[in-house]
């Protein structure tokens, strides 16, 4: 009887995961993970994309142009690869996050005892993706709500607050910045890619605390665009920023 209960719980868990990842149209891949010193070091971004495509996802690097119709930022998943420190063993696992940085799914940990770094990272990441591929992902056409979920620590927002429409990015803009999710918000990178600005989430989806070149201000959606606003010599400066979330 206990075995049947355990099997039922396991099945429910798998079904719940399948339903959640199937809600998203594609996955965005950063070109550099936190433990990497250079972009696509050990070809980890490339290996990630190869495995995502094998698993049935549409996958795009954060610094590449995403085809029209792929979906808004909250219709996409954002992957992050984490490293577990271990003696003589390389351990990697993948986290899939929504547009607000909430973890939707965490893969099994892949392991490798290879001594060569590139071989070890490839083997461990490939092994981590075995559990992802086994989920048989298929987009179900569900529309994801684009409003930010309530946070218990967030300040109360008046019901009279006017909701601002999130601007649509102009992908032809040569100065377009690409948003990569972080634990508390986003980092905006250019095509180099170089981190240009860091964003911290607030209680609104259309306003962020923003830091650029050591200057702290806010990034706000208004007039169908994003504006970095800060004070300089006691005067308010408003700088238009082109961002693709």
At residue 12, the pLDDT reads 43
Find where tokens 């590139």 sit: 118
Q: Which residues lie across from 180 on neighbouring strands?
A: 187
The C-alpha torsion from 8 through 10 and 15 to 16, rounded to 10°, is: 110
Cis-peptide, bond into residue 50, ω within 30° of zero: no
What residues contact 78, with CB distance under 8 A and at least 6 apart? 27, 28, 30, 96, 97, 98, 99, 101, 180, 181
Encode burial over 153-162: b for 16+ CB neighbours within 10 A, e otherwise: eeeeeeeeee
Q: Which domains does the chain have, with CATH numbers?
A: 11-133 (3.30.160), 148-245 (no CATH)
Are 187 and 170 contacting, i.e. CB atoms less than 8 angstroms apart? no
What residues contact 110, with CB distance under 8 A and at least 6 apart? 91, 92, 93, 123, 124, 125, 126, 127, 128, 129, 130
Alpha-carbon gap, residue 219 to 67, rounded angstroms: 25
At residue 145, the pLDDT reads 56
Report the DSSP pairing between strands 243-244 and 76-84: unpaired
* Cβ count within 10 A of residue 42: 17
Kindly state the tokens that stand for 126.
Answer: 């490939």
Largest pairwise CA distance in the chain? 73
In terms of Cα–Cα distance, which of 104, 116, 4, 107 is closest to 48?
Answer: 107
DSSP secondary structure of 10-56: HHHHHHHHHHHHTT-SEEEE-SS-TT-SSTTGGGHHHHHHHHHHHTT
- Mean pLDDT in each 10-residue stretch from start to end of the chain (245 residues)? 45 47 92 89 96 96 81 86 91 91 92 95 97 94 58 42 67 88 86 85 88 89 92 89 90
């Amino acid at each position: 009887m206990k075995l049947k209960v355990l099997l039922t719980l396991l099945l429910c868990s798998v079904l719940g995961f399948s339903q959640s990842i199937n809600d998203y149209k594609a996955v965005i891949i950063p070109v550099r993970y936190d433990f990497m010193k250079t972009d696509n070091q050990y070809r980890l971004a490339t290996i990630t994309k190869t495995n995502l495509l094998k698993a049935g996802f549409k996958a795009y690097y954060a610094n590449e142009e995403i085809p029209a119709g792929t979906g808004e930022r909250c219709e996409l998943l954002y992957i992050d690869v984490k490293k577990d420190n271990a003696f003589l063993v390389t351990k990697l696992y993948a986290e899939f996050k929504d547009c607000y940085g909430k973890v939707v799914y965490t893969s099994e940990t892949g392991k490798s005892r290879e001594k060569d770094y590139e071989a070890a990272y490839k083997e461990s990441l490939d092994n981590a993706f075995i559990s992802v591929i086994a989920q048989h992902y298929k987009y179900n056409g569900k529309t994801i709500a684009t409003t930010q979920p309530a946070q218990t620590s967030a300040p109360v927002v008046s019901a009279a607050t006017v909701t601002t429409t999130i601007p649509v990015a102009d992908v032809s803009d040569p100065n377009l910045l690409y948003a990569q999710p972080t634990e508390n918000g986003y980092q905006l990178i250019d095509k180099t890619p170089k981190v240009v600005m860091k964003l911290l989430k607030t209680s609104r989806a259309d306003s962020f605390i923003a830091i650029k070149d050591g200057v702290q201000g806010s990034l706000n959606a208004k007039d169908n665009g994003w504006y970095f606003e800060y004070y300089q010599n006691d005067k308010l400066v408003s700088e238009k920023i082109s961002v693709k979330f």
